[in-house]
Amino acid sequence: MEELERILQEHGIKPTANRLLVLKALAECHRPVTMAELEDSIDSIDKSGIFRTLTLFNEHHLLHQIDDGCEGVRYELCHATGDVDDDRHVHFHCEVCHRTFCLEENPVPSVQLPDGFQAETVNFMVKGICPDCAAKGKTTHTHHHH
């Protein structure tokens, strides 16, 4: 838990029992999770408590919010170390098993914006079939049949 406390303090967040629990759940996932998945893994905090904590983490740049384009928003910890978010990576959404993966080796390509436009967040989601599903011979068409 000490490591988790340090992460909160580094982001200017006062460590509380609930915040540490939410942080621990996110840290153990290693992939972006939905609100429903977080609720499943945290029994002792209600949905609004989890949501408030996520909002706080987001305000302190400890969280990435990722829109997977079909199931809504997913959350993951931001592993950037400095003031600049250097942990913006590409995500991959499998259209067969509906899991979203972090492709940490693939940084989000920088986009040259026209004059006057300032980027706040970037969502870079690739969709297709993950290696597990491809190995089982599944295609994106199979799940439409039933």
Query: Where do contacts with Zn ion occur on this chain (CB under 5 A)?
Result: 76, 94, 96-97, 102, 130, 133
Nearer Cβ to Zn ion (42/78): 78
Residue whose CB is less far from Zn ion, 18 or 61: 61
We find the least distance from the C-beta atom of residue 96 to Zn ion, in angstroms, to be 5
Spatial neighbors of 54 by CB under 8 A, at least 6 apart, are 22, 38, 63, 75
In 3D space, the residue among 71, 61, 85, 59 whose CA is nearest the CA of residue 32 turns out to be 71
Minimum CB distance to Zn ion, residue 136 (Å): 9
Distance CA 138, CA 69 (A): 21
Q: Could you tell me if 104 and 77 are in contact, meaning their C-beta atoms sit under 8 angstroms apart?
A: no
Cβ closest to Zn ion, residue 6 vs residue 30: 30
Would you call 26 exposed, middle or buried from its count of C-beta atoms within 10 A (0-12, 13-18, 19+)? buried
CB of 59 to Zn ion, least distance (A): 19
Nearer Cβ to Zn ion (22/133): 133
CB of 17 to Zn ion, least distance (A): 26
Nearest to 10 by CA among 77, 81, 67, 95: 81
